[in-house]
């Protein structure tokens, strides 16, 4: 493909040089190969325009820049093909779509956005589609799926160039459905610009990522972009949680832009769950939808998972699955790694690993644990920490959520990153003092997990919250291997519970 063909539909403000044949599209100069187009764009912390020279040295065939200064500098070289655009990420999305042959138009794409529940909802929706024999791709926090192949996930929502390359591989492998988490960062930065979402799902909005967005208003504005045609066109169907006040606002936005609305909730919306019955092995509820009514049985547990199931099931129906097909498939759905994942080494108490890393998610997790231990009169022991280099204002709120619902709290590190772990704990402490709760401080997460498990008694539930599926911990001096599940299982084996269940 020639440079001019790759620029089809792209708003360019200036262009100079030849019209070379392109061999690829890259935004990282380290990945440039001879003949590739290098997209130089300003990022949050790094300006890619600083690496144009490095890309040319590696043989870049053309340059796309969002900098007038870079355009003025490099257009002086007659052997360099270069074009200037007003918005680097939007231009990259369009150029990559052109280069990869518009795979996004050959897929039915379903996107899930919201503070909590994105990962579980995407996994559930993909599973429902697979039960209906649809060939799928999944893009999200834990891992990527491509026609049955599991790939590592470097980002919840990748840059447009990488997303479109993945879609191209999927289409070539026969994939017809793509299900993806759509983060607020990706929406605000234009990483998913130009992706035509057939179905868009909103789960909820609670306090998170304010270190990036600055305010809840800006955070919500980013989420709204999935529904208001900011990406190029609105979704055909918008699946919205009307029991979140932002869902009702999004319903007005989506309807105004021509989307069909599928609303859900316990008591509100067209897709409702009534008479929910919780047990240690799962849940039962009666599902009411415009497509029919039926009792539903699932292995998943907890109120939040009812919401996730409602969202995924409505999304599956929007994608053309039959009502009876969805009801039957729900019974076979499994929990998602790191989302209320239990560890059983024969101990007489329950140990759960969960990704809950906001005050709302932590509060919901503890409420579910309280329901499960109620009949045994057990205690809820909650271990959690707060991430470093992130929104500090949510730290006391996390402490308050833990204190309000737990009998014992072990405050430890999450991913402290460049911050002092002791300083992060100090930010959390004001929330732990109201109401007064028995808590312990241990900055070392492995030691904190051991403390939580060693004080557990028969009938208790120990919640290891915050990191979920993650297999590493990011510290000031670097990233180390760390897995809550593996650490907890090893401690339990040392405590010699293994023989109790045999």
| In contact, 230 and 90? CB cutoff 8 Å | no
pLDDT tens digits for range 127-138: 999 999 999 999
Q: 80: domain CATH number? A: 3.40.1390.10
Q: Which residues pair with 440 in a beta bridge?
A: 410
**What percent of the chain clears pLDDT 90, i.e. is strictly above it?**
83
Residue ranges of E strands in 232-354:
237-241, 260-265, 271-279, 282-289, 292-298, 341-343, 350-354
Confidence of residue 371 (pLDDT cuts 50, 70, 90): confident
Confidence of residue 210 (pLDDT cuts 50, 70, 90): low
470 is in an annotated binding site: yes
378 is in an annotated binding site: no
Taking the CA atoms of 474, 480, 484 and 488 in sequence, report the sign of the dihedral they define: negative
Q: Which residues pair with 284 in a beta bridge?
A: 277, 297
Q: In the prediction, which pLDDT does 435 show?
A: 73
| In contact, 397 and 384? CB cutoff 8 Å | no
Domain boundary among 66, 99, 132: 99
Q: Do 183 and 265 fall within a single domain?
A: yes
| In contact, 29 and 98? CB cutoff 8 Å | no
280 is in an annotated binding site: no
pLDDT tens digits for range 80-119: 999 999 999 999 999 999 999 999 999 999 999 998 999 9
Confidence of residue 194 (pLDDT cuts 50, 70, 90): very high
Q: Do 292 and 345 fall within a single domain?
A: no
Q: In the prediction, which pLDDT does 335 show?
A: 82
417 is in an annotated binding site: yes
Q: 230: domain CATH number? A: 3.40.1190.10
105 is in an annotated binding site: no
CA angle 96, 101, 103 (to 5 degrees): 90
Find the domain containing 325 and state its range. 103-330
**pLDDT at residue 475 is higher than 50:** yes
User: CA–CA distance from 207 to each of 201, 226, 377, 456 (Å)?
Assistant: 19, 19, 32, 31
476 is in an annotated binding site: no
Q: Do 139 and 241 fall within a single domain?
A: yes
Q: In the prediction, which pLDDT does 496 show?
A: 83
Domain boundary among 99, 122, 145: 99
Cα(365)–Cα(357) distance, rounded to whole angstroms?
A: 10
- Does residue 435 have a cis peptide bond before it, meaning omega lies within 30 degrees of 0? yes
| In contact, 376 and 459? CB cutoff 8 Å | yes
Position 140 in a domain: yes
Average pLDDT for 184-188: 92
Q: Do 93 and 108 fall within a single domain?
A: no
Q: Bin 51: left if φ > 0, else alpha if -120 < ψ < 50, else beta.
A: alpha
Q: In the prediction, which pLDDT does 377 show?
A: 85
Q: Do 290 and 410 fall within a single domain?
A: no
User: CA–CA distance from 266 to each of 21, 203, 263, 311, 379 (Å)?
Assistant: 56, 13, 11, 11, 28
341 is in an annotated binding site: no
Number of separate domains in the chain: 3
Q: In the prediction, which pLDDT does 213 show?
A: 65
89 is in an annotated binding site: no
416 is in an annotated binding site: yes
308 is in an annotated binding site: no
Q: Is pTM, for the whole model, over 0.85?
A: yes
Residue whose C-alpha is closest to residue 399's, from 440, 434, 446, 351: 434
Position 336 in a domain: no
12 is in an annotated binding site: no
Confidence of residue 499 (pLDDT cuts 50, 70, 90): very low
């Amino acid at each position: 493909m020639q440079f001019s063909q790759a620029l089809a539909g792209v708003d360019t403000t200036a262009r100079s040089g030849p019209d070379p044949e392109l061999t690829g599209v890259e935004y990282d100069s380290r990945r440039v190969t001879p003949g590739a187009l290098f997209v130089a764009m300003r990022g949050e912390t790094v300006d890619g325009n600083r690496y144009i020279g490095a890309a040319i040295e590696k043989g870049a065939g053309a340059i796309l820049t969002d900098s007038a200064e870079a355009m003025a500098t490099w257009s002086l070289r007659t052997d360099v093909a270069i074009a200037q655009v007003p918005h680097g990420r939007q231009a990259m999305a369009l150029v990559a779509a052109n280069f990869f042959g518009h795979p996004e138009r050959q897929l039915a794409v379903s996107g899930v956005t919201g503070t909590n529940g994105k990962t579980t909802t995407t996994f559930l929706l993909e599973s429902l589609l697979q039960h209906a024999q649809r060939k799928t791709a999944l893009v999200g926090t834990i891992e990527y799926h491509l026609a049955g192949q599991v790939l590592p996930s470097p980002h919840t929502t990748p840059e447009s160039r990488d997303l479109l390359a993945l879609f191209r591989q999927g289409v070539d492998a026969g994939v017809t459905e793509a299900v993806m988490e759509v983060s607020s960062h990706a929406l605000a930065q234009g990483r998913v610009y130009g992706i035509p979402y057939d179905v868009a799902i909103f789960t909820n909005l609670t306090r998170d990522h304010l270190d990036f967005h600055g305010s809840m208003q800006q955070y919500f504005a980013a989420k709204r972009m999935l529904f208001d045609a900011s990406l190029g066109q609105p979704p055909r169907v918008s699946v919205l949680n009307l029991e979140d006040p932002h869902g009702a606002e999004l319903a007005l936005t989506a309807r105004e832009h021509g989307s069909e609305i599928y609303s859900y909730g316990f008591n509100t919306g067209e897709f409702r769950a009534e008479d929910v019955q919780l047990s240690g092995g799962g849940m039962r509820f009666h599902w009411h939808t415009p497509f029919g009514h039926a009792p539903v049985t699932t292995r998943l547990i907890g109120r939040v998972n009812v919401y996730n199931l409602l969202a995924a099931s409505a999304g599956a129906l929007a994608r053309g699955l039959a009502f009876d097909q969805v009801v039957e498939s729900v019974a076979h759905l499994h929990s998602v790694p790191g989302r209320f994942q239990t560890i059983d080494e024969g101990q007489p108490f329950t140990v759960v690993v969960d990704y809950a890393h906001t005050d709302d998610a932590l509060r919901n997790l503890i409420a579910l644990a309280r329901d499960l231990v109620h009949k045994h009169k057990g205690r809820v022991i909650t271990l959690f920490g707060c991430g470093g280099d992130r929104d500090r204002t949510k730290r006391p709120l996390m402490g308050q959520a833990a204190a309000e619902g737990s009998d014992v709290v072990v405050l430890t590190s999450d991913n402290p990153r460049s911050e002092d772990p002791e300083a992060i704990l100090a930010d959390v402490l004001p929330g732990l003092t109201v109401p007064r709760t028995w808590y312990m401080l241990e900055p070392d997460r492995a030691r904190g997990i051991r403390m939580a498990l060693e004080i557990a008694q028969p009938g208790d539930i120990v919640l290891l919250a915050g990191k979920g599926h993650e297999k590493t911990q990011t510290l000031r001096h670097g990233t180390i291997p760390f897995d809550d599940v593996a650490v907890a299982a090893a401690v339990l084996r040392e405590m010699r519970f293994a023989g109790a269940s045999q």
